[in-house]
Amino acid sequence: MRRALPWLAAALLLGCAGTPRAPVIAGLEVDLTRVTDWVASGRIGIVVPGSGGSGTFVWRQRDDWTDLSVRGPLGAGGLQIETDGVALRVTDANGERLDAEAARGLIRSRLGADLPLAQLRYWMLGLPAPGADAEVRVQAEAPVRRIEQSGWSVAYEQFVTAKGWSVPARLTASSGPLRVKAIVDHWQLQPDAGPADRSLRP
């Protein structure tokens, strides 16, 4: 029974927000020249072969630098993952810091797969990453957008509007048997991130 608990926790997260109505994408597609600094926070569920779990995350993006704090699904306490898409540093709940291949090895041991470091911050904004072939599909019903890139499939079930931009509220990224579900409860964009041609409230 105890071994089944992580699966149950992940399953509860996947369905915790209920079945969304057929969503409509409002707002503009994110302009990366205007949206460079942002914070997203919410809940995360991970299913990997033989395990799984749920927890919370805070994602801080500053230009190319990603600072992702995850608590719950990747082991006791949590992990802090920092990367610019190439370099990688991971700090565990005990303050132990790993860099480069040691950090990748730790994530690989927890997830059973490598993280697509260069693509993550673009996918989080609902965009394909530049520099790699991608297939993007858009439809009226959920998932309203799907990105297939670098061996990953990212399905977006719902978008919300932040400062006039359309940003994901619910998304699922999968590669092989690995499945990661994120529900973004709060988006925070830098004050001047809104479209330049109109005045918009946050």
Tokens of 1: 């029974």
CA distance 135 to 140: 17
Per-residue pLDDT for 173 more than 80? yes
What pLDDT, on a 0 to 100 scale, did the predictor assign at position 91?
94
Q: Which residue has the tokens 């802090």?
A: 80
Residue 17 has pLDDT above 60, yes or no: no
Report the C-alpha gap between 147 and 181 in whole angstroms.
Answer: 15
Does residue 26 contact residue 146 with C-beta atoms inside 8 Å? Answer: no
Q: How is residue 155 written in tokens?
A: 């399905």
* Per-chain mean pLDDT for the chain: 85
Q: What is the DSSP letter of 171?
A: E
Task: Quote the distance between the C-alpha of residue 13 and its chain's center.
Answer: 15
Q: Could you tell me which residues come within 8 angstroms of residue 40 by beta carbon, excluding any fewer than 6 positions away?
A: 58, 59, 124, 167, 184, 186, 187, 188
Per-residue pLDDT band at 165 (split at 50, 70, 90): very high
The pLDDT confidence band at residue 113, using thresholds 50, 70 and 90, is confident
The pLDDT of residue 1 is above 80: no
Beta pairing, strands 28-29 & 75-83? unpaired
Q: What pLDDT, on a 0 to 100 scale, did the predictor assign at position 24?
A: 55
Identify the CATH homologous superfamily for domain 2-189: Lipoprotein localisation LolA/LolB/LppX (2.50.20.10)
- Look at residue 92 in the predicted model and tell me its pLDDT: 87
Q: What integer pLDDT is reported at residue 27 of this predicted model?
A: 84
Rg (CA), the chain: 17
pLDDT at 13 over 60: no
Confidence tier at 15 by pLDDT (50, 70, 90)? low
pLDDT for position 8: 40
- The span from the CA of 5 to the CA of 140, in Å, is 35
- pLDDT value at residue 55: 93
Q: Measure the CA–CA gap between 21 and 128, rounded to whole angstroms.
A: 25
3-12, 79-88, 152-161: which range is least confident on average?
A: 3-12
State the average pLDDT over residues 60-88. Answer: 88
Return d(Cα 62, Cα 135) in angstroms, integer.
27
Q: What is the pTM of this model?
A: 0.84
Distances (CA, A) of 61 to 8, 41, 45: 31, 12, 21
The predicted structure's pLDDT at residue 4: 44
Residue pair 193/35 in contact (Cβ under 8 Å)? The answer is yes
